[in-house]
Amino acid sequence: MYLTREEDIRYVILLSVIPGREMSEDLIRAHVGHLKELDRQGRLVLCGPFTDYRGGMVIIKAANYEEAKAVAEKDPYVQAGVESYELRTWELSCEGNNHMGMG
């Protein structure tokens, strides 16, 4: 039986634009600053907007779900009410964990 290792978990923050809300240049800069700070801390894995959906995705490293939720709720877009978020726990399948014990 395969046991999930803490280092194989990432958190996916799916951001969705709330229709009718205004997004200012200052707010965009604040959001980018938030992402840069996560990167500086070594917590940002990947991020970017979708090309076929009004929103984006941020993948982070966090100690647990509650910490990841706090990161999502600190995002200036979420705080300003221009985007909502969904948080998902993502388990990596990689060589380091023998593809979740199946490889």
Listed ranges 3-7, 25-29, 93-97; the one with the highest mean pLDDT: 25-29
pLDDT digits (tens, 9 = 90+) for 29-64: 999 999 999 999 999 999 999 999 999 999 999 999
| Residue 1 maps to a domain | no
What CATH number did the domain enclosing 21 receive? 3.30.70.1060
**Residue 82 and residue 25: Cα distance in Å, rounded?**
13
| Residue 93 maps to a domain | yes
Say how many domains are in the chain. Answer: 1
**Averaged pLDDT score across all residues of the chain:** 90
- What does pTM read for this prediction? 0.87
| Residue 67 maps to a domain | yes
What the block records as the tokens of 11 is 């958190």
> What are the residue ranges of helices labelled H in the chain?
25-40, 65-74, 76-79, 98-101
Mean pLDDT confidence for 5-27: 92
